[in-house]
Amino acid sequence: MKVTIYTDGAARGNPEGPGGFGTILVFVDSKGQEHIRELSGGYKKTTNNRMELMAAIAGLEALTKPCEVELYSDSQYLVKAFNEHWLEGWIKKGWKRGKNEPVKNVDLWKRLLEAMKPHKVNFIWVKGHAGHPQNERCDVLATSAADGDELMDDVIL
């Protein structure tokens, strides 16, 4: 089963202001019918990078069976971590990077890796705020969630 996931994260007053994520899942069934599901959530105090990761996590955790996934994000932090194999290096070094500095957001990286396990995921970067319809919609979902009244606590911040 092939699924396309579009994601975006947003944070007001980054780092550590209110933030949100937006995710769109698109699936075409065997009859050619397109199914679209939108997800979003907001947090009281978070960062943009955490919300970019949460957008991907939310999309993958919403899948109920193994899928081939094309995941589109405007976050180079997210996409390069996989496509340029940053994650492999961080894991080999015990979640350290560069000059033996700790990797940020380890809790979400681990959750994302767990969410990916049943799926084959291809990460694709799209330029943000460049008119890509699904990316623009994800941005609206993320910023609306960040500006919402029912914000959750980000357990790390």
Angle between helices 48-61 and 133-146 in degrees, nearest 10: 110
**Taking the model in full, what pTM does it have?**
0.96
Residue 90 pLDDT:
95
The structural domains of the chain, ordered by start, are: 2-146 (3.30.420.10)
Q: Find tokens 């995941």 and name the residue.
A: 71
Provide the residue type at 94 as one letter: G
Active site residue 149: no
37, 25 contact by CB (below 8 A): yes
Token pair belonging to 9: 């994260």
Active site residue 29: no
Per annotation, catalytic residue among 52, 59, 119, 154: 52
Q: What is the Cα–Cα distance from 79 to 126, expressed in whole angstroms?
A: 10
Per annotation, catalytic residue among 20, 22, 42, 139: 139
pLDDT digits 0-9 by tens, 40-73 = 999 999 999 999 999 999 999 999 999 999 999 9
- Which positions ≥6 away from 113 have C-beta within 8 Å? 87
pLDDT digits 0-9 by tens, 73-131 = 999 999 999 999 999 999 999 999 988 899 999 999 999 999 999 999 999 999 988 98
Token pair belonging to 125: 């970067």
